[in-house]
Amino acid sequence: MYFFLMDTPLLITATLLACAPMAAFAAQTQSVADASVVVKADSPGAVVAPEIYGQFAEHLGTGIYGGVWVGENSDIPNTRGMRNDVIEALRNLHLSVVRWPGGCFADEYHWRDGIGPRENRPSMINTNWGGVVEDNSFGTHEFLDFCELVGAEPFISGNIGSGTVQEMSQWVEYMTSDADTPMTRLRKENGRAEPWKIKYFGIGNETWGCGGSMTAEFYSDQFRKYNTFLKNYGGNKLFRIACGPSDSNYEWTRVLMEKVGHAMNALSLHYYTLPTGDWSRKGSAVDFEESEWFSTLRRTLMIDEFIGQHSRIMDRKDPEKKIALAVDEWGTWYDAQPGTNPGFLRQQNTLRDSMVAALNLHIFHAHADRVRMANIAQMVNVLQAMILTEGPEMVLTPTYHVFEMYKVHQGGTFIPVSISTPDYVCGDERIPAVYATATMNAEGTLFLSLVNVDPNKAQSVSCSFEGYTVSGVSGRILTAPAMDSENSFEQPDVVKPVAFDGASVEAGSLRVEMPAKSILVLEIESAAK
């Protein structure tokens, strides 16, 4: 049995375990255990920034070309070259922010190659991702047009690795200045009279690796130099995001906060979930046993400790938490789908990935005082994607459905919860079986999300409330017949949310009957409204 508060870090270590074969658990069992949740509505926390539900789109595989961009002359219905089906699906997520053009690609990207008439744009080799030719037909204007179409804030990742201070400075001027200068005249010649509003700007990406193999001390000096020449033009004010660490590199955070903390608005953090923890053999996206289901979830939970530790280091210089932590790359990373270019990072998405998405969002909510942006990797056709496309076809993944169900939490006030939960046991290891997160919107409606990660046992969950009188409940559930259930072009609705009728009000409390391996979002009405 576990008991924990979801506003405090949860320390979990990771081990690949031996469990029963997956086939033995393809059908849900009827074994029921009990859990309890206390929702502390009288102790509200920080606002859950909508940007926590951000996306990431890199020039990688078919993430842009074929996934977002098909060109104006395509037979696939499009708006100015952008796929209409993808635009509609993303708008339905209430998309907050999209990070572009990378990733590792960003530090080989030179923005001038992606403006002007497309037939005149030079090509390049995408050396990071598959060695394919990048024709630069999707550039600054196209990306910012896409952001306007889907209603999202752009997050530009600037090139420190192979770029120059002048190049980055002029890019900001080109996009945001309304003065009569060569850069603004060039923008107008290319069809955009008014400047864009660009809030989020990343000064380098993974500079400890593909972005330049720098030390924290060297990058701090580079950040200081580049940041000096990134100007705020007119009414535009840049929110400056420094390249932060990966995983548990706490020394990087310490150095950055010490040397340039005063000059940044946010520090980034990257963490990917690998079932095996081995980058040379990450594991299959679809062919896995329960041991890999368990290890994937357990490794996902480790991000809670990483965020907590980095936050505590940041607190030493920034106790008022003015500097945000931006988890601008996160999600599952498996071996590439067989038969595809391994550099395209295409992988299928199963019910397991929906669990990973939900658990991460719960953790981000619990750290909402410091985590004010997160960008899942990646939006379309790459890694833990929202959407998969193939030619004219499109399918929504289980991860998409979690983001759609959880969009009710965007902009809500975090409500702490305490949980007493049975264990989910695999081999001789265990993690909590039930997870919960809650927010309250401006109208006073409470939203409670519950996750049962145990693929074998249903959970009967009692929910009580402090400072909130319950009068009614409705909700939706996401589950599927098997742990490896997926949505394909042939069967797009295998994993899809449906109405949930397993919650009832009992004397001001809730009783929730959760099936095995399920995700719930409950809307809880108050008698006081």
- What pLDDT, on the 0 to 100 scale, is given for residue 8? 44
* Residue of 51, 58, 108, 206 marked catalytic: 206
Strands (E) across 177-335 are located at 200-203, 239-242, 266-273, 324-332
Q: At 303, give phi and psi (nearest 5°).
A: -65, -25
Q: Where are the beta strands (DSSP E) in 165-290?
A: 200-203, 239-242, 266-273
The pLDDT profile of the chain, 529 residues, written as one tens digit per residue, is 554 555 544 433 333 334 643 333 333 444 455 899 999 999 999 999 999 999 999 999 999 999 999 999 999 999 999 999 999 999 999 999 999 999 999 999 999 999 999 999 999 999 999 999 999 999 999 999 999 999 999 999 999 999 999 999 999 999 999 999 999 999 999 999 999 999 999 999 999 999 999 999 999 999 999 999 999 999 999 999 999 999 999 999 999 999 999 999 999 999 999 999 999 999 999 999 999 999 999 999 999 999 999 999 999 999 999 999 999 999 999 999 999 999 999 999 999 999 999 999 999 999 999 999 999 999 999 999 999 999 999 999 999 999 999 999 999 999 999 999 999 999 999 999 999 999 999 999 999 999 999 999 999 999 999 999 999 999 999 999 999 999 999 999 999 999 999 999 988 899 999 999 999 999 998 876 5
Query: What's the burial of 523, exposed, middle or buried (CB within 10 Å: 0-12/13-18/19+)?
Result: middle
Distances (CA, A) of 244 to 32, 117, 197, 310, 341: 43, 36, 25, 10, 29
What kind and span of H or E run contains 297?
A: helix 290-317
Q: What is the 3-state secondary structure (H, E, C) of 433-498?
A: CEEEEEEECCCCCEEEEEEECCCCCEEEEEEEEECCCEEEEEEEEECCCCCCCECCCCCCCCCCCE
Say if residue 379 is exposed, middle or buried (CB neighbours under 10 Å; 0-12, 13-18, 19+). buried
State residue 438 phi and psi, 5-degree precision: -140, 145
Q: Are 446 and 39 in contact (CB under 8 A)?
A: yes
Catalytic residue among 142, 329, 404, 486: 329
- Give the model's pLDDT for residue 32: 54
Residue 350 is classified by DSSP as B
pLDDT of residue 12: 37
Q: Do residues 393 and 489 lie in contact, with contact meaning Cβ atoms separated by under 8 Å?
A: yes
DSSP string, 355-401: HHHHHHHHHHHHTTTTEEEEEEE-SBSSSS-SEEEETTEEEE-HHHH
For residue 453, give every residue at least 6 positions away whose Cβ sits within 8 Å of its Cβ, in sequence order, or none. Answer: 297, 355, 359, 424, 431, 432, 433, 434, 435, 517
Number of C-beta neighbours around residue 336 at 10 A:
18
**Residue 204, CA atoms < 13 Å, CB-side half-sphere:** 31
Query: One-letter amino acid identity for 82?
Result: M
CA distances (Å), origin 476, targets 203, 403, 450, 465: 40, 13, 11, 20
d(CA 13, CA 300) in angstroms, rounded, equals 10
CA neighbor of 370 nearest in space, from 1, 47, 32, 62: 47
> 3-class SS at 274?
coil
User: What single letter denotes the amino acid at residue 106?
Assistant: A
pLDDT reported for residue 506: 86
Q: Residue 27: what pLDDT? A: 38
Active site residue 206: yes
Is the Cα torsion angle 365, 368, 373, 374 positive or negative in sign? negative
CB-based contacts of 425, cutoff 8 Å, min separation 6: none
Residue given tokens 């951000």 in the structure block: 54
**91: three-class secondary structure by DSSP:** helix
CA dist 257 and 267 (Å) reads 9
